[in-house]
Amino acid sequence: MQAYYRRATAYAAILKPKDAVKDFKTCVKIDPSNKDAKLKLVECEKIVRQLAFFAAIEVGEEPSAAEGLDVDSMVVEAAYDGVRLEGKMTQEFIDDMMERFKNGKTIHKKYVYQIILAVKKLVYDEPTMVEVDIPEGVELTVCGDTHGQYFDLMELFRLNGTPSDKHWYLFNGDFVDRGSWSTEIALLLYANKWLRPKCFFINRGNHETDDMNRVYGFEGECKAKYNERVFKLFSESFSALPLATLVGKKYFVLHGGLFSDDNVTLDDIRKLDRHKQRQPGQSGLMMEMLWTDPQTEPGRGPSKRGVGMQFGPDVTKRFCEKNGLEAVIRSHEVRMAGYEEEHDGKCITGKLSSSSP
């Protein structure tokens, strides 16, 4: 009974409701008085019905949430006590926004729309794999999952320095969900991207996806602090984010990890049209880039997450040699020291927040 229940809960957590339904039904059959199993069975059956309904009515891409949104005509009330945004992002606005967020305030909805729409266009026009060379005298910091932990991010900036023309940042996915300040982090990262588009970079993570946002909190947070349209605009912007960044032609940075096929090259990633596939699904290059993990054993193995797979040091070595790389830099997993070098130094895992596995 307990084994079926644990497996059903795991299936539900990794967004496999059909499999969860089977195990919860077995639990209820074994113990008809188990109220918790009954409740979870009903919830999973509801999700399965919703998915079937959406699949049945899907006739094409739905219109953008920006359709009919007249941002220019929106009025910022005289009582608004923050810095005004006059058409383009400024450092003054970012500094004021950071303080507002620290004090539990939000920014005006007009500014939220402006930020998301501006950055959606910026990242949409970037390639699937952004290629960056670091000029002399410039430092680049790669930062893993922040997961809605705003004050962790503030501490990082305090210790490491805020974004500037001489201090570039690359945020490697999973900046939303789980924590209570996901909208604040997303807006702050986007504002910095808007201000310094060639000095500030954002990769997509497995939590910048609709399914994860529904389950792990970002959708609900957007609706509570702003409205449903804000979430939909964020969702559209997430699907436009690049999937990887190549730094100095030697360091391949992506959220998850490597591939189930040794023949995948950087050119395959360059050619990947992420705009045709908004969500990663259960297979393919996009899914593997967002979900896979390293393992200590050679070869490949099943994923502990139930999605993707795990890859060994030999896989990493072959990929680096084939593509002329020094190392793969990824996030997606907790490391107690904040980061860890694995696979003979060719796979580096770094993650800011420890709030999720």
Candidate CATH numbers 1.25.40.10, 3.40.50.2020, 1.10.300.10, 3.90.850.10; the one for domain 2-57: 1.25.40.10
Calpha distance 26→242 (Å, rounded): 42
252 burial type by CB count under 10 A (0-12 exposed, 13-18 middle, 19+ buried): buried
Task: Point out the residues that are catalytic.
Answer: 207
Residue 10 and residue 357 in contact, taking contact as beta carbons nearer than 8 Å: no
257-300 pLDDT, tens digit each: 999 999 999 999 999 999 998 899 888 999 999 999 999 999 99
Q: Which residues contact 38 (CB under 8 A, 6 or more apart)?
A: 28
Token pair 């032609």 in the structure block, residue: 249
44-90 pLDDT, tens digit each: 787 777 666 555 544 456 789 999 999 999 999 999 999 999 989 99
Fold of the domain built from segment(s) 91-350: Purple Acid Phosphatase; chain A, domain 2 (3.60.21)
Helix (H, G, I), strand (E, B) or coil at 227: coil
Q: What is the pTM of this model?
A: 0.84
Domain ranges of the chain: 2-57, 91-350
